[in-house]
Structures are given as structure tokens and as C-alpha cells.
Copies of this chain bind each other. A is one copy, B any other.
Amino acid sequence: MIVRDAPRAIDLIFAIRGSILPRIAPRLLALMVFAALMVWLDRRTDILPEAGALGFTVFGIALSLFLGFRNNAAYDRWWEARKLWGGLLADMRSLAREAEVFVRDDALRLSLLRTARAFLHLHRANLRRRPDDALARSHAGALADAPHPPDAALDAMAALVKRGAAGGTIDSFGQRALAERLGSMALQQAGCERIATTPLPYVYSLLIYRTTWLFCLLLPLALVGPAGWLTPLFVGIVGYVFFGLAEVTEELSHPFGETPNGLPLDAICRAAEISLAQHLGEEAPEPLEPKDYFLS
């Protein structure tokens, strides 16, 4: 995730880090060259038919609404993903507190918290499709090779609760409290999994990219008359707005990717580690800081 203050004047012109421009620049250039060719063709020959504004107004508004919808949906996915991770962070902290209250066996309690920490890292590695994530493996050990690692970590925690119940160090109230906490973590984990495995319907992407291209390629027909040599500029700007939004949307709709707009899962895991440290009797690590405005 890019962490920067609101852009100042100078950033508006030069900011590259966090901008979508580099990614769409080739497309915009192609569009502008094409538009320039159209103007040249129009000036030299009489081939080009002229299209009235009506079609483009309606088309443009429909396209804007459609892009707006997809942008909303993508942002909602991104923000819901962030909420789920915020919820997991709260769950980790509450688990640590409930373990203090309800578990009367310190070794068991520490095992429980360590497994919880492993769960969080396995979950992160799973969402980012990194089965060999070194950090996760260092925390998780054998759990990392289960068919579904984060699920296996939660299973291991349930087994610890069972052991505590059998050994009399967790009473019935504690079992209920910890089982509910595990249920909450499982729900949020499944929520993240849902977002990761269910992309926005592909048909939307196809529809949107196809119509955006059609719009930008046909636009010169309507502009060449009234706007003349300004046509490439306008086509470039319209392309910037529409393709820019489409690309941002694409990126935000995959909130767990390691892209400039992906969520800072590493930083959230670190925040959980800091909170757990005291309960584990360990030294709290430093919070992660953004590097070159980027927080991983």
C-alpha cells in the first residue's frame, strides 16, 4: 500500500510512485497516435464520416456509470478485506486476553498463542499464494504442509483447547469462550478466502475493456470536426480517465496482491506480533515502516 500525504502541487505533475500512469502510458500513446492519424486523414481526404455528439454522450454516460459500478464493487472488496484483517487483529488480541483469563496452564496458553501467530502468517501466505513463505514456515513448522495450512492451524488450536479441557485447566466457560473466538477467526479467514478465490465476474472486465476501447477508438470521429488538432489531446485525457479508473479497479479488486494498492498484510501481521509479544513474554518487535512510500 502506498502511504503518502495528500498530493501537493509538485506531486500532481511528477509523482510516479503510486500513480497508474506508467501502466497505461503505452495504451494512451497508441490512442493519441491513432487519433492524430485520424485528424491527418480528415484534413487530407474526405473518407472519414462524421458522427454526431448524441451517440457519444449517451455512450459516455453509460460507460461512466458502468465504470463507476465496477469501481465501487472493487473498492468494497478492498475495504471489506481490510475490515476482515482488522477483525483478525482484534481477534488475536482478544484471544490473548481470554487465554489469560480462562487458561490456567501457562505452557498451554503459550502454545495457543504461538499457534495463533502461526495461523496469521499461514493465512497471509495462503492469500498471497506463497506456499514457501519463509516467515510463515518459521512460525508454523509442520502445519505449513497441511492441505489447507491456516485451517490446520485452527485445528491445532482446537486440539489445544480440548487438551486443556481434558486436563482440567480450561473450564466449560473457557471452552465456550475460546471456541467462539476460534469461530470468529475462522469466519474472517473464510471471508478473506472468499475474496481471494472469487474475483469480480470476468464478464464485467471483458465488457468494460471492450467498450472502453470502442469508445476511445471511435471518439476521434466526433471530435475531429469541432476540435481539430486538439483531438489527440482530448482522446488522451478521456483515455487517461477511463483506462486509469479501469486499472485502479483491477488492482483494488485483488486486495491481497503485492501491488502498490494491495493491503499491507506484513504490517498488520507485525502489529499482531507486537500485541502478542507481551503475552508471550517476548520483546515487542518494531512496527513495519513504509519504504519509498510503500508499506508491504
Contact = CB atoms under 8 A, between A and B. Distances in A.
Nearest to A157: B97
A94 B241 contact: no
Nearest to A182: B97
A34 interface: no
A248 B154 contact: no
A101 B162 contact: yes
A102 B61 contact: no
A181 B214 CA distance: 51
Contact of A278 (B20, B64, B68, B152): B152
A56 B54 contact: yes
A203 B4 CA distance: 10
A175 B191 CA distance: 27
A282 to B, nearest CB: 12
A206 B176 contact: no
Contacts of A284: 147
Interface in A240-296: 240-242, 244-245, 248, 250-252, 260-261, 263, 271, 274-275, 277-279, 284, 293
Given A1-B201, A152-B278, 10 more contacts: A7-B202, A52-B223, A58-B238, A66-B68, A69-B72, A73-B79, A97-B155, A101-B161, A211-B237, A214-B237
